């Protein structure tokens, strides 16, 4: 569908609130919908699962993919109680989700103490301009892995 269903967003919001009440993690919920039905849900589980990638959207994506037995969620929509962070936006991209609906904005999340502005700024920089220390080494050796991939006729493209 090209218009959102408020019922699914209310479920995402309820997940966010339940997660806080139960001490599961931060105030974020997500719902993945296919053909008008809920396929999977997720809430932020960073603290309780000791997993910094366990944002609500990622939790829901993993659950939906496990249920479908497919790494593609093409044909699905995602409802998020707050605008996804760059990690989750990228995960939504890799999962090939068709549509994203969100309720609170990035600015609302920042006001609540969840500010990802620095992360967006970091991603907009070239690698050698980033604040994150580090750098490049052994490129020539690593290119062999890409040659392996190209030479493997039966790999699954994705």
Active site residue ranges? 57
Return the number of the residue (3 or 37) whose C-beta is nearest a copy of itself.
3
> What is the spatial distance between Cα 1 and Cα 28, in angstroms, rounded to a whole number?
24
Return the number of the residue (37 or 127) whose C-beta is nearest a copy of itself.
127
In the bound complex, what is the minimum distance in angstroms from residue 126's beta carbon to a copy of itself?
10
Q: Which candidate, 68, 43, 71, places its Cα nearest to that of 58? A: 43
Return the number of the residue (39 or 85) whose C-beta is nearest a copy of itself.
85
Return the number of the residue (39 or 77) whose C-beta is nearest a copy of itself.
77
Q: Which candidate, 63, 82, 107, places its Cα nearest to that of 13? A: 82
- CA-angle at 63, arms to 61 and 65, nearest 5°: 70
In the bound complex, what is the minimum distance in angstroms from residue 37's beta carbon to a copy of itself?
18
Contacts of 56 (CB under 8 A, 6+ apart): 12, 15, 16, 19, 28, 29, 30, 42, 43, 44, 80, 81, 88
């Amino acid at each position: 569908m090209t218009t959102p269903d408020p019922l699914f967003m209310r479920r995402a919001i309820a997940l966010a609130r339940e997660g806080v009440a139960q001490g599961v993690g931060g105030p974020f919920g997500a719902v993945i919908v296919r053909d008008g039905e809920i396929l999977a849900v997720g809430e932020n589980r960073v603290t309780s699962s000791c997993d910094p990638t366990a944002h609500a959207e990622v939790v829901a994506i993993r659950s939906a993919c496990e249920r479908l037995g497919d790494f593609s969620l093409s044909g699905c929509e995602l409802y998020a109680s707050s605008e996804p962070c760059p990690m989750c936006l990228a995960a939504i991209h890799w999962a090939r989700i068709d549509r994203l609906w969100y309720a609170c904005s990035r600015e609302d999340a920042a006001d609540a103490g969840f500010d990802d502005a620095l992360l967006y700024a970091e991603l907009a920089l070239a690698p050698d301009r980033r604040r994150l220390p580090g750098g490049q080494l052994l490129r020539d050796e690593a290119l062999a892995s890409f040659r392996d991939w190209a030479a493997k006729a039966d790999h699954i493209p994705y």
